[in-house]
Chains A and B, each alone.
Chain A
Amino acid sequence: MRSNRKRVERYLALVALLTIATAWWAGKEKQADRLSKKMEVFYPASSYQLQSLGENLWKVTSKKQGGTGFLATGSHKGYAGPVRMLVHYNRDLRIEELHVWSQSETPSYFSDVIKEGYLQVFPGKAIDEPFLKITETDGVSGATKTCQAIAHATREASAITARHTGEALNQSASPCPPLIGAREVILLLLFSLGIIIRLPGFQYKKQLQWIMLTGGLLFLGFVYASPLSLTNVNSILVGYWPDWQSELYLYILLAGILIILLTTGRNPYCQHFCPFGAYQQILGSLGKARSLRLKRRYWWTWLQRSLAWLAILIAVFTHNPGISDYVVFGSLFQFTGSHRLFILLGLVTITSLFIKKPWCNFLCPIRPITDYIRLFRLNKALSWKRKTNG
């Protein structure tokens, strides 16, 4: 029975991988089509004449008003993926208007940026404007990376236009963030504690567990709001690899989880210092929460896995890592998210008082992903090799 289940699990794992790869390929084909359609929406052939001047640059002439200008596109990495801007410059090389050509940010964060009128700050600015300063003064709190990406992408569009017109552009680069900051140090410390707690004979496991939980909740949760989310995983699957200099934290987190998971089969992040796990555990201790013993626990696991698979499938098909993310971390740690996520957070919070870690056990998409990675554990592969050799 058990070996049958294992075999079925392996087949389904393969099916999941194949469907995700197919969705990625189909989505890529569709994306190019979507971009050209969007261009037609912003600058319809009936009102504008576009003449290509090279890659990502056009001369634009309004058929109604007769004015000419330039249209350029620029792109920069945001929170989940690239933000592509379409910038229209008038004859005086000032921004006439700008549009978001494509983006893959978390929907609720991106709609905040639009609602707060961040894009309205740009029109009228000269081509050599240091746009990053706009982010510092008019950026939307909680969506800094998205705002910076818009500013950088607009700057790139300006650089393309300036190269063509021969305009001198102030080349002052944005300051490069430090490689290792307090966030990365705390994460490394938590990983080290995660290894220490597993050492045989270590006496203060309970105390250390609480230190790690509190540290994870305070620092990775409330201070830095950096829990591992489905958007992070989707970004990598879609191919939007984060910039390693500014996102070293994410690389340390993923590498730490992967290495420890593949070698020991344990996931220190989920077990010891995931901020949302810590939140549930603290609430559970307060309400003396009990483990929910379900008769059909195995099927609940599959429901959780199916949800995660569907969310990843949607993200890779649309090439939008944040579109299907249903994690409630943002609603708790940054007070941002859709109404549905806030309702879900409320339900999870209340349930956590009476049932042990309901989010982790029944809904979290990270757990199915780590289960999947566990299939490729090194010692499993080695034991299989030993068996076949023996």
Chain B
Amino acid sequence: MNQNNLEGILEVERIKAYVNKKEIFRYLNDRSETSSRSEYWLNMIDDVLSECLQYSKPIYASQKFDIERDLEKDEIKIIAQADQSFKSKDLMRLLGQSHQIHVVGVTLGLFLDRKIQYYMNSDATKGVIFDACASVVIEACCDYIQDRLVEQDLRLDDRLYHTNRYSPGYGDLELSTLSTFSDLIQMTKKTGIHVSEHFLMQPQKSVVFILGTSKMPFKEATLICEHKCFQCKLKSCQYRVGER
């Protein structure tokens, strides 16, 4: 990954190590800690995961922005080149003393969306597995990109701290900010991700996230941790990790 590229095609081979197979089972309502499914199902999931990786065309766009925090208005303002601000108490809390944010848009591509629909219509059993695998693969891409961005920042200054990922629609950060973030990084042009009038991303296996960078250490709650759901207000979500 060229650290200076604004966009990039991710090599699937590099993403594989980030794929969390346990998560596939969780998406498929397998609530056991370690899967007790038969060899038939384990092999099927492996095969479908391989196919999903084969058809994934992960591509991303990202850019780093200096930010200012307006504590009175609970606004994060992106400075230099843009007069864009985002009102969100939760984002303010997450970003703490961050002076910069990375904005990233990443997708697995439309071909994968088509494949999911293909299997849902021809072999629904495989289709639901394929969909679960795709959800896990896009997360793996996000994890990979996040690691690379953190590495890149630490190469420049090893005293920097980073938040966890945060996305439009989390907490009180309005989903409508997707459009603004998309424009900021020219996401549609660089990745083919479109944001509809009602803020759906197409292709569906797409993610936009923000990563805060700070020269000061964060309070505990905003450190990078395993549980990505802790700030999400959808307590009843069946996919929630950690406490409900």
A binds B: no
List B residues at the A interface (Cβ < 8 Å).
Answer: none
